[in-house]
Amino acid sequence: MAVMLITACTSAPNLPPTDTIVAVKPTQSGVIASSAKYSYRFVRDGTPQEYQRYKTFYERFHQKASGVRVNFLVKEHEVTAEYLVVMDNRKLDAGQRDVLVNQYKAVPIDNDRLGVLFKAKGFWSSSHAPEQAAPYRLDRPVVVAINDKTQTLSTFGTIALIPLLPLFPLFMMYGCATGPCL
């Protein structure tokens, strides 16, 4: 008599489904965002046009933005930060909407809001104390969603859904993406 055993392999994700960034330290080559346990390093090298695109966008539209939602896409130790700038459609005129849609590829989030997506690439590691020194600590910590693709899904296809995270002020992303944090 043969017995067949089917098992489902699941491994825990390397990172939790959300993390709270408590400090952001600008460096010569990019930005280090730190939580209590992890450090996320994003470099400007290789994608300077994305930082310039964000800087130009910020200078033109920062007063029209409601805030930013941040999502980290993780595979192994590589991280892609996606920051969705949420624009209040009611504060925009037709010309501004056209620029957002045509130049920045804005997409509708709902009837009242548009979203413009920006990305930064880097890697994560265990956090280091100097990155969380007082000058780099945020007045208001930022919660980010983490989609860790490193994990193996069980054969049952369990998927964790992360609720929409709160918005945080756009100026925090601008300062840290383009140079010293404002």
For residue 97, the model assigns a pLDDT of 95
For residue 74, the model assigns a pLDDT of 92
DSSP assignment string, 140-182: EEEEEEEEETTSPPPTT---PPPPPPPPB-HHHHHHHHHSS--
d(Cα 105, Cα 64) in Å, to the nearest integer?
16
In the predicted model, residues of the chain with pLDDT beneath 50 are 1-13, 152-166, 171-182
For residue 47, the model assigns a pLDDT of 56
130: nearest Cα among 20, 19, 15, 25: 25
- By the 8 A CB rule, do 19 and 144 touch? yes
For residue 140, the model assigns a pLDDT of 84
Which pTM does this prediction carry? 0.70
16: nearest Cα among 129, 126, 148: 148
For residue 98, the model assigns a pLDDT of 96
CA atoms within 13 A on the CB side of 16: 10
d(Cα 99, Cα 69) in Å, to the nearest integer?
21
CA–CA distance from 135 to each of 23, 26, 32, 93, 175 (Å)? Answer: 9, 11, 13, 39, 14
Tokens standing for residue 149: 């693709």
d(Cα 96, Cα 161) in Å, to the nearest integer?
33
For residue 101, the model assigns a pLDDT of 95
For residue 151, the model assigns a pLDDT of 52
